[in-house]
Structure 1
Amino acid sequence: MLFSSLLRQPVLVTLGRYARLTILLATVAGALPGCSDDDETESAPTAPDRITVPQAGLHPEGIQYDEVNKRFLVSSRTQGKIGSVKDDSTYTQFADEPRLISTIGLNLDASRNRLLVAVSDNGANAARTTAATLRKLAALAIFNSTSGALQNYIDLGNLRPNQAHFANDIAVDAQGNIYITDSLSPIIYKVDALGVASVFLENNQLSGGTGFGLNGIVFHPDGYLLVAKANDGSLFKVPVATPASFTKVTTPAGLNLTGADGLLLLNPQTLLLVSGSQTTVLRLSSTDAWATTNSTGSFATGAVSPTTITRRNTSDAYVLYPFQSTSPRFAIVKAKF
């Protein structure tokens, strides 16, 4: 007999064994999900809209969200060290090493348990800069993303020793190859899974002239890189298999991407681009595999010197506000379009 049939027999409620059965049924019904008024489902903590971190003069440039450990990882132009930030604004040092003069872009390659760090020297870290490294250093540091132990340090600038260098941002493809942009030379470097470095692409179209050129970079799952150039706002599509066949993404008249810094690929058709000079995060979309793009939204940051952006959960994106190099704080803010 079905429970619902028994429960429609009110005359039996007070009769012998049926009374005991009715009590048992009521007890079972109360234990079923959704049957008790006292049933409460514990919800996940809400991600904060803003985290203000009281760390003086840190001037972070790169940021990644570590989903497993529920923390942000941030770099530092002025101190070189890598730090972690919790939602309660607590900052702790995650990793440091004397060769970390200025740490710029970060990439948390969680599946391979490594944190990738672009290392440069533009004179912002007075304690560590030297004549031998100033505007000449481009390096990749690889840390264990659990322990913070240094696993490898790879000098990239030595591939072109007579040029100026500034390693800026990092992307990783499906095979674990690492790509690093150089803002002072028209170069994208590649470091393979064995740690062997090479010049992946070098072309004068990627030059920033006397300013910053290449900046943000992301890997698209269809097998190409999207790369931004800060000085003129160019966006390039670079096939991983044939980098020399790179093309410029066409943008409509009136869409200004100058000052392009960090990039975040939200999904195959949606790219977030931080423009520091425009104090704006632009949401770009493409329906033709990034032959062309258009803007579908923007988020104004204000005069906070925004640099880059990271994903948290499946859809939230957080922008890094470094303020100035002497600021008593920095902030991590959810972008809302």
Structure 2
Amino acid sequence: MTSFSPTITLRSTRSRALLLSVLSVGLLFSAASCSDDDDNDAAPSLPETVAFTQANLFPEGVQYDAKNTRYYVSSQTAGTVGQVKDDGTYSVFAENAALVSSIGMNLDEGRSRLLVAVSDPGYNTQRTSAATLRKLARLAIFNSDNGQLISTTDLGGLRPTQNHFANDIAVDAQGNAYVTDSFSPIIYKVDAQGVASIFLENAQLAAPAGMFGLNGIVYHPDGYLLVAKSDEGALFKVPISNPASFTKVSISQDLKGADGMLLQDNTTLQVVTNAQAKVYRLTTANAWGAATLSGTFSTPPQYPTTLARRSGADSYVLYSNLNALQANQPVSVFTIARVRF
């Protein structure tokens, strides 16, 4: 028969209680410490707006460079591409004689390229000319780290007798660029070696003289382009493998004045409509055969033009104030605003 000492048992019980008490206090301090660390390590909140001052810049394009925490902005009046930090600091990122008016842009992060659509609407008084006014369509590519010019490719020369306005750019997985022409019913293709060709040309994509036709363009990873047509307020799906078989996406929402776009995910598209001062969110259930409206963000009447992805589903819209430029009214402060559906 086993014997035991009541005194030893009591001391053992008290020791266990003391040990548990110490451990509990330690865990509380540890949890509090972890909580503090979590707070310190939390990512800073995204700004609601980024306002920057650059007199009469009138930017139409915007892209966000996560690696260098900056926005790129184009300019219809200056032969530059600018960079803007979250605190509103503006500086010139790239300047080149090839830039008359810089319009839409596409940041090809994997290849360290910033692609810029170049046109001449006549607003850069230092560089416009009779030879280029409403005739110029060009693709300029810069190193996205240092702003050095990599290449320029003439597009308008493929159809020298027509009017041209290179507007927006999409890039596919192979590095091919697709550029919309707002004054001719053309989508150009520029391959990774810089060779330009007519990817799609069709009279159904034409706009009346003096109006903007083809505009925003995005590449879908399933192998097609989504393209906005401003004057018609329409969206088209263009297969990469057979562009002539393009179809109109069935949408009940009027997209009149459709401009830049952002593919949020494979089934969600954000579309800026400058004429309506809106950003529309569209969703599809049948691979963009049709789409429905799933959200609307209203902007001030400052001619919103296009979007930049900041992180995940967070997007920012550029207020270009091009309506003031067209009315010959000066503007000094421009805004990049977070989209809230």
Distance 1:38 1:130 in 2: 63
Report which of the two has the higher share of helix: 2
Mapping 1:234-249, distance limit 5 Å: 234-249=234-249
Matched, 1:154 2:153: yes
User: Among 12, 15, 25, which residue is 1:12 paired with?
Assistant: 15
Amino acid at match of 1:305: Y
Matched, 1:310 2:313: no
Matched, 1:330 2:328: no
CA deviation digits over 1:117-145, x for unaligned, max 9? 00000101111101111011000000000
Native 8 Å contact 2:214 2:229 kept in 1? yes
Gaps of 5+ in 1: 1-8
CA, structure 1 residues 333+14, in 2 after alignment: closer, same or farther (shift >3 Å)?
closer
- Give, in angstroms, the shift of residue 70 of structure 1: 1.0
| Residue of structure 2 equivalent to 1:6 | none
- Give, in angstroms, the shift of residue 74 of structure 1: 0.5
CA, structure 1 residues 192+37, in 2 after alignment: closer, same or farther (shift >3 Å)?
closer
Taking structure 1 as the reference length, what is the TM-score of the superposition?
0.90
CA, structure 1 residues 10+43, in 2 after alignment: closer, same or farther (shift >3 Å)?
farther
Taking structure 2 as the reference length, what is the TM-score of the superposition?
0.89
Aligned-residue Cα RMSD (Å) equals: 2.1
| Residue of structure 2 equivalent to 1:36 | 33
Native 8 Å contact 2:98 2:140 kept in 1? no
CA, structure 1 residues 124+10, in 2 after alignment: closer, same or farther (shift >3 Å)?
farther
Distance 2:79 2:154 in 1: 16
| Residue of structure 2 equivalent to 1:297 | 295
CA deviation digits over 1:269-307, x for unaligned, max 9? 111110000111111111011111111111110211110
CA, structure 1 residues 156+239, in 2 after alignment: closer, same or farther (shift >3 Å)?
same
Amino acid at match of 1:134: L
Mapping 1:118-137, distance limit 5 Å: 118-137=117-136
Distance 2:47 2:29 in 1: 35
Distance 1:299 1:38 in 2: 35
- Size of the aligned set, in residue pairs, is 321
Distance 2:113 2:28 in 1: 48
1:40 is paired with a residue whose SS is helix
Mapping 1:73-222, distance limit 5 Å: 73-210=72-209, 211-222=211-222
Distance 1:277 1:271 in 2: 18
| Residue of structure 1 equivalent to 2:285 | 287
Gaps of 5+ in 2: 1-11
Question: Runs of at least 4 residues of structure 1 off by over 4 A?
Answer: 25-32
Distance 2:13 2:54 in 1: 69
2:305 is paired with a residue whose SS is coil
| Residue of structure 2 equivalent to 1:265 | 263
